[in-house]
Amino acid sequence: MTVSMYQASVPVFVRFLNNLAEMLQTAAAHAEAKKIDPGVLINARLYPDMFALARQVQIAADSAKGCAARLAGVEPPKFEDTETTFPELIARVRKTVDYLNTLKPEQIDGSEEKTITLTMRDKTRTFVGMPFLLQHALPNLYFHITTTYAILRHNGVELGKKDFLGKS
């Protein structure tokens, strides 16, 4: 059986972003139940030089939509990085999932050898489609969702591995 570029990207992105949204909903409920200012969790970080939870969520969403759009040969939609509440972060994740669901397999399949150019800060990096997906985009998505999970867990939100992996 062959796995297509679409199968290896969009459904994976959608699944893990949906899991992320569920974790954020759990965190919001935790904050309410424990009478914790949600901003404490949203601005929490694992170490002073790391991004806070809100930025981790934004990067996870951007990574997924950016990868899928580039593989499809379209410009990714731009989202402002203004989320400061759990409902806003969840909405951003859901908006990303909605965008991903507009992409069709025929737009992404066959992009294994496609040249992907990213401008990150002040430098440009060039990738080839399949290595871009498997060695850059997917690990980046997992890193930022894992870091979000770790921030929430560190702050007492009751999450487990099943929350990260989601329902099978």
Tell me the per-residue pLDDT of 23-82, one tens digit each, with 9 for 90 and over: 999 999 999 999 999 999 999 999 999 999 999 999 999 999 999 999 999 999 999 999
**For the chain, domain boundaries:** 5-165
- At 90-145, the pLDDT tens digits run 999 999 999 999 999 999 999 999 999 988 888 999 999 999 999 999 999 999 99
Buried b (16+ CB within 10 A) or exposed e, 101-127: eebeeebbeebbebebeeeeeeeeeeb
Q: What is the mean pLDDT of residues 132-160?
A: 97
Looking at domain 5-165, its CATH architecture is Up-down Bundle (1.20)
Sequence-separated (6 or more) residues with CB below 8 Å from residue 13: 64, 65, 67, 68, 100, 141
Residue 58: its pLDDT value, please?
A: 98
pTM for the complete prediction? 0.95
The torsion angle over the Cα atoms of residues 39, 43, 46 and 49, rounded to 10 degrees, is -160
